[in-house]
Amino acid sequence: MLASAPRMRPIVASDRAPSLPLRRGRRAADRRRASSALAAATAGGVAVGVLLEYFLDPAAGRRRRHGARDRALSRMRSGERRAVRRARRAESHAMGVTRRTINARRRRPRRLDDVALAQKVQSEIFRRTGARKSQISVNAEDGVVFLRGTPEHQEDIERLGQAARAIAGVRDVENLLHAPGTPAPAGRSKLERRRSGS
């Protein structure tokens, strides 16, 4: 009967065999974790002890505590000042961008008054043409520029008139310049200028 009995496999041994190395590996990892946690706790405890010894020292602890407090407050104040400066800078930059954008849309050519227009024409035409200021006078009335005087050269008469017409804000030019020794041309009256549309 024993000879005819079928062979039975050891089920328990085959199931437990692979789990033994896994358990050993887990135990080793748990031990390593526990030892590293213990080392970290020990180092933390030592650091806390050193700090307590440093700050609670009867001889110099009070000075050290006050110095640490003063340094911390100083860093907080300087950080606060830096943050305020950055906030103001950002606010100013944003306001500048906003105002530039608004003014770019609203920008219209500003009309100069007669005195400012005459000064502008005088400075620009003499710079462009190179003529002498002492012999020529410039004045303006309702956007119309009057050029009077005797330039040294005949070609300066036309050049000064063209330069004055090219300036922004000038509605018309009354060129009353003449060569030395010749009579001055007659200017148009205000009524004639209005009728001609200038």
Does any domain span residue 25?
Answer: no
Which CATH number belongs to the domain containing residue 121 in this structure? Answer: 3.30.1340.30
Alpha helices in 4-60 (DSSP H): 11-55
Stated as kind and residue range, the H or E segment containing 86 is: helix 61-106
**Segment of 3-7, 8-12, 21-25, 88-92 carrying the highest mean pLDDT:** 88-92
Prediction pTM value: 0.43
Q: By three-state DSSP, how is residue 167 classified?
A: coil
Residue 13 neighbours by CB under 8 Å, 6+ apart: none
Range of the domain at 130: 114-196
Residue located via tokens 């200028």: 193
pLDDT digits (tens, 9 = 90+) for 105-122: 776 666 778 888 888 988
Provide the domain count of the chain.
Answer: 1
pLDDT digits (tens, 9 = 90+) for 147-167: 888 888 788 888 888 888 888
| pLDDT of 52 | 79
Does any domain span residue 138?
Answer: yes
Does any domain span residue 135?
Answer: yes
Does any domain span residue 84?
Answer: no
Quickly state the pLDDT bin for 1 (edges 50, 70, 90). Answer: very low
Does any domain span residue 28?
Answer: no
With 90 as the cut, is the pLDDT of residue 85 above it? yes
